[in-house]
Amino acid sequence: MPKKIVVVGMGYVGIPVAVAFSMAGFNVIGINRSRKKVDQINKGISPIGGREPSLAPLLKKMVKARRLRASQDFKECVGAQAIIVAVQTPFNEEEERPDYSSLESAMNDIGANLSQGTIVVVESTISPGTIEGVVKPILESKSGLVAGEGFYLGTCPERVRPGRLLKNLIELDRVVGGYGEKSTKKMLSLYRFIVKGNLYGVDCLTAEVVKTVENAYRDAQIAFANEVAMICEALGVDVYKVRELVNKSPYRNMHMPGAGVGGHCLPKDSLLLAYSVAGKYKPMMLKVARDINDTMPLHLVNLVESSLSEIKMPIRGARIAILGLAYVGNSDDTRNTPAGPILKELEKMGAEVRVQDPYVKMFQGKKVSRRLREVLKGADCLVIVTDHDSYRKIGLKSIKNLMRTPIIIDGRNIFKKERCLREGLIYHGIGNL
């Protein structure tokens, strides 16, 4: 009989993990508190939208083969070979601390149903020291077992990304951090069933630091690109030409500037890293990078306002068409999307805002239009927030004919400025005014 694996949290991480282990021959049970999501999975329907190659058909196939099912009952953890935790771990910026309510709740329920010899792995991104200081005490207290002996514990931080969830999970190298040598060895053997990339075994604290550092590093890289874009705007230089030429120099890899940083990881992982050394050291660059990236959505709003003022049109009452709500192209993931503050600020300023996204159905309780034409018709300004592939196919003549005032504010370098100007459109891009 196939061994049982339980995945706690069936979201952008948990679902591909569950599918991968079921494809490897395990009997997988995904636990989620949402009855709607549980029912959806048990019908063979993936709750994840957007363009995710192979994920939906493989989920359907595994459910049909009875190797994957979902439940709300933590009693499913009893007798599992492994329990993999993929719950959200946001950062509460007001309290300047991680919000581990979901993680702690899951650990309490897992601990109450933990069997001798089970491997417990946290894939959620956590502040360094969390396995030792939060996860281990709860599991030991609730189960009466000792970590590293009665059960095995560690973290194998996810490296997935919307648009290639399964691909990244299977092909990328992974860092496996165990609480003690036995735990590390058990986890390495487990993940070898689904990971084709290299597996690097370390202690759990090192693995926690690696994960937060790799995302903090990317956040800082994007912040650098965004600051260069602002400098180029002030100087009247095209940041994309600057980037192209900078990257021709050896050992340079300047990132793309843009409308802002979103997703579950990048906006909070540098904060989780900084939190781990509170009272010992005060990181400086991490905070600056966060502040720069957080200003980009509001900078896009400023570009809208200044562009309208150039033609003597007030922003109050202006019709603004926003293209893209997902934080990343070809996905339906709106977690911490830059579109959120942009939409909020424009509405606060009295603009009439219409939003379109080919993958997002609802946002903040409101229906999102799938029809591009109805959003563009009669608009005074078009704001591109997400780089969905479908937006690159929009004809500039169609845009001009549909809009009342043909202004484009391009937050993702979707269109070429020269072409827009030739077609009679007013164009402003980030770092390319």
Q: Are 205 and 129 in contact (CB under 8 A)?
A: yes
Cα distances (Å, whole numbers) of residue 427 to 90, 322, 395? 36, 15, 15
Measured N-to-C along each axis, helices 55-64 and 14-23 cross at an angle, to the nearest 10 degrees, of 60
What residues form DSSP beta bridges with 429? 410, 432
Residue entry with tokens 């010992």: 280
User: What would the two tokens of residue 239 be?
Assistant: 């940041």
Helix (H, G, I), strand (E, B), or coil: what is residue 193?
A: coil
Give one DSSP letter per residue of 296-331, joined into a string: HHHHHHHHHHHHHHHTT--STT-EEEEE--SSSTT-
What residues form DSSP beta bridges with 175? 200
Give one DSSP letter per residue of 247-303, joined into a string: TTSTT-------S---SSSHHHHHHHHHHTTTTT---SHHHHHHHHHHHHHHHHHHH
Measured N-to-C along each axis, helices 285-310 and 204-235 cross at an angle, to the nearest 10 degrees, of 30
Q: Where are the alpha helices (DSSP H) in 43-100?
A: 55-64
Exactly one of 156, 232, 265, 381 is catalytic; which is it? Answer: 265
Q: Are 335 and 263 in contact (CB under 8 A)?
A: yes
Q: CA 349, 354, 358 angle in degrees (round to 5)?
A: 140
Residues 152-171 as b or e (16 or more Cβ within 10 Å = b): bbbbbbbbbbbbbbbbbbbe
Q: Are 60 and 97 in contact (CB under 8 A)?
A: no
Cα Rg of the chain, angstroms = 23
Nearest to 340 by CA among 408, 270, 259: 259
| Exposed / middle / buried, residue 392 (Cβ in 10 Å: 0-12, 13-18, 19+) | exposed
Q: Is 211 a catalytic residue?
A: yes
Exactly one of 37, 211, 268, 417 is catalytic; which is it? Answer: 211
Q: Is 265 a catalytic residue?
A: yes
Strands 119-122 and 97-98: unpaired
Cα distances (Å, whole numbers) of residue 287 to 93, 135, 172, 267? 12, 27, 29, 11
What residues form DSSP beta bridges with 6? 29, 83
Catalytic positions: 211, 265
